[in-house]
Amino acid sequence: MADEKRKLLKQYFGYDDFREGQEVLIDSILSGRDTFGIMPTGAGKSLCFQIPALMSDGITLVISPLISLMKDQVGALNQAGIHAAYLNSSLTAGQYFKALEFAKEGRYPIIYIAPERLLTESFLDFAGHAKIAMVAVDEAHCVSQWGQDFRPSYLKITEFIERLPRRPIVSAFTASATKEVREDVIDILMLQNPVVVSTGFDRPNLYFEVQMPKNKYRALTDYLKKHAKESGIIYCLTRKQVEEVCGNLIKEGISATRYHAGLSDEERKRNQDDFIYDRAPVMVATNAFGMGIDKSNVRYVVHYNMPKNMESYYQEAGRAGRDGEPAECILYYGGQDVVMNQFFIENNQDNAELDEFTRRLVRERDHERLKKMTFYCFTNECLRDYMLRYFGEYGSNYCGNCGNCMTRFEETEITEIASALAGCVREAGQRYGMNVLIDTVHGADTAKVRQYHMDRNSYYGSLSKVPVYKLRQVIQYLLVENYLRLTNDGYMLVKLTEKAGALLEGKEKLVMKMAKEQEKREKTGYGKKKRPVTFREPGTEDVKLFDSLRSLRTEIAKEERVPPYLIFSDKSLIHMCLLKPKTKAEMLKVSGVGQYKYDKYGERFLEKIKLGTGEN
């Protein structure tokens, strides 16, 4: 069995070895155990159910939440020489029943299906007579109402399984799940004594940075011009922002396209294809875009606004660098982002079906998540470590590959500033938000300060010599460390906590890390970090060969009408440039080149390498 699974891994997927966690999960399924895998984006979750599917006597049903996700994975399987199909609303009635007919004939070892289709009469009839070896639940966090992507249709899965004549193996996979969501998945899917494997949430190849530009759009265009030859995603909070940003980028000559729920199905599909096929390397989108998009060469994800929670940010940012190569995740924070997210939480229609008590609980939890997302934007600790701690992992608080770790910090005593801010909150009756409080201690002459008579507060102007950005950092630190808290009633008023007592009484000394603004390292390449030297650096010999192989890949992709990365990933092309294979045996040593793909494309790429290296 060990030889067979490795043979399949190389033959169809082109890899010599399994990644961390894959073999344990595969062996668990092959032994007949229910299985739950928590693996970061790009870690190879799909292989964990695809290889057992090829080794099983029966059909593996993969339950997947989005049409784009299904089409992408089925397309990749067919490209690798594995017969697979999907059943969802994108098919006509004729296509749907034809696919079911082929499935009954045993043509597909793997069938992807939307959860909404599970309890339809036609599919229940098929499933009742077919041999279902395994039900694999992809994006399993969607089953939990505490998850960031709860989908009520996922609750149909257990009923479907109960209606089968024989219970199959049940496996579940997700990239983002807190401890509560993991427990929910196991309970709701009724996994029986499952093998649970979590390979960790860290993606070492991703660089994280938070910026607070005065002009977000100008910061974005400057960034895109520096990364003109690369593919990336720009996430915006609203459809209106997507339209504005995308329209302006196109006017400036940047090849961009857009995606949001307000577009027609036809336009969304066209724009998504333009991005996937590299016709438009920049995608500007709301969070409606991305789940299941297996585009391996996304080199950056820029969040034009702060998302509503860490789960969403982790998932969206994780669409960068799926090939394992260095990639950037940049977040532009602005104060208005918090207000917009508060509004979305208070007016969330997705929870309309829940009862009032549960709806209130979900709303409170959403506000708490937003608070922790905001703290991420202001922390002076390692950004990666902050994110990992959120998901229950703990590191050294220094990764060397995030904006905070790459900036020089100094320990600064903030006791006087913190005490004045807390005193201002107390004297003002805990009735105002951050901006009013900061304006008060800074001595600003604004309409709100006058309207609320804050110019009569004894702390008015007491911190006039402290820069506003520093006051904002300190107040955020006090929130993070629980000396202050924000209300969740839509007004975000600053309140004191019990912990603030010692500070107000002068019994506590506070020190925090603050950036030495004048000593920030010059930005080169990835964030403030020097970009790793690879063969793609300008001036190296292999850059021409890489471009030549990429052109051949595009040519073949057009011939076959598939996305270029389904032919070979950038990582495979990089490996070809490094190995410069001359024979079939050497080409099969390239990561991502299996027997099936070699038979289809290998000779053409060998010939291109031969021409590119001047070999006769």
Q: Identify the sign of the CA torsion 23, 134, 33, 146.
A: positive
CATH number, domain at 576?
1.10.150.80
Q: Is residue 185 part of a domain?
A: yes
- 134 and 105 within one domain: yes
| Same domain (yes/no): 433, 354 | no
| Contact by Cβ (8 Å): 72, 128 | no
- Burial class of 380 by CB neighbour count within 10 A (0 to 12, 13 to 18, 19+): middle
Runs of H (alpha helix) within 580-616: 584-587, 595-597, 603-613
The region that residue 490 occupies, defined by phi over 0 for left and psi between -120 and 50 for alpha, beta otherwise, is left
pLDDT for residue 396: 67
In a domain, 535, yes or no: no
Residue 554 lies in a domain: yes
In DSSP terms, 330 is beta-bridged to 209, 302
Is 396 within the bounds of a domain? no
Model pLDDT for residues 153-182, shown as the tens digit of each residue: 898 999 999 999 999 999 999 987 778 888
Is residue 587 within 8 Å of residue 606, measured between CB atoms? yes
Q: Is the pLDDT of residue 530 over 50?
A: no
What pLDDT does 517 receive?
54
**Alpha-helical regions (H) of 257-391:** 265-276, 310-317, 335-346, 356-378, 383-390
The answer to whether the CB of 139 falls within 8 A of the CB of 174 is: yes
Instruction: Note whether 500 and 577 are same-domain residues.
Output: no
Counting the structural domains of the chain, the total is: 4
Could you tell me if 369 and 250 lie in one domain?
A: yes
Q: What is the CATH number of the domain that holds 435?
A: 1.10.10.10
444 assigned to some structural domain: yes
Q: What is the dihedral of CA 583, 588, 593, 595, to 10 degrees?
A: 100
Check whether residue 138 and residue 236 sit in a common domain: no
Beta bridge partners of 110: 60, 84
Domain boundary among 173, 198, 223: 198
Residues 379 and 431 in one domain: no
Q: Which range marks the domain in which residue 428 is found?
A: 410-517
- Reported as type and span, the H/E element at residue 539 is none
Q: Are 256 and 228 in contact (CB under 8 A)?
A: no
Picking from 104-113, 287-296, 397-406, 556-565, which range would have the lowest pLDDT averaged per residue?
Answer: 287-296
Q: Does residue 531 fall inside a structural domain?
A: no
Is 524 inside a domain boundary? no
Same domain, 461 and 595: no
The reply to whether 41 and 145 lie within a common domain is: yes
330: left (phi > 0), else alpha (psi -120 to 50), else beta? beta
What is the C-alpha to C-alpha distance for residues 536 and 223, in angstroms, rounded to an integer? 19
Structure tokens at 500: 């603030």
Do 210 and 191 have their domain in common? no
Do 230 and 146 fall within a single domain? no
DSSP state of 491: S
Is the C-alpha dihedral spanning 111, 113, 119, 122 positive or negative?
A: negative
Residue 486 has pLDDT above 70, yes or no: yes
From 162, 177, 198, give the residue that closes a domain. 198
Residue 402 is given by DSSP the state B
pLDDT (tens digit per residue) in 250-286: 999 999 999 998 999 889 889 988 998 889 999 999 9
CATH of the domain at 275: 3.40.50.300
Tokens 């599970």, located at residue: 118
**Environment class of 453 (CB within 10 Å of its CB; exposed 0-12, middle 13-18, buried 19+):** exposed
- Is there a single domain that holds both residue 303 and residue 245? yes
In a domain, 465, yes or no: yes
Give the rounded distance of the alpha carbon of 266 from its chain centre: 25
pLDDT of 537: 45
Provide the pairing of β-strand 256-259 with 282-285: parallel
Q: How far apart are CA 292 and CA 64, in angstroms?
A: 9
Domain match, 478 and 578 both: no
The rounded percent of the chain whose pLDDT value lies above 90 is: 50
**Which tens digits make up the pLDDT trace of 185-209?**
999 999 999 999 988 888 889 999 9
Nearest to 143 by CA among 104, 198, 182, 85: 182
Q: Is the pLDDT of residue 538 over 60?
A: no
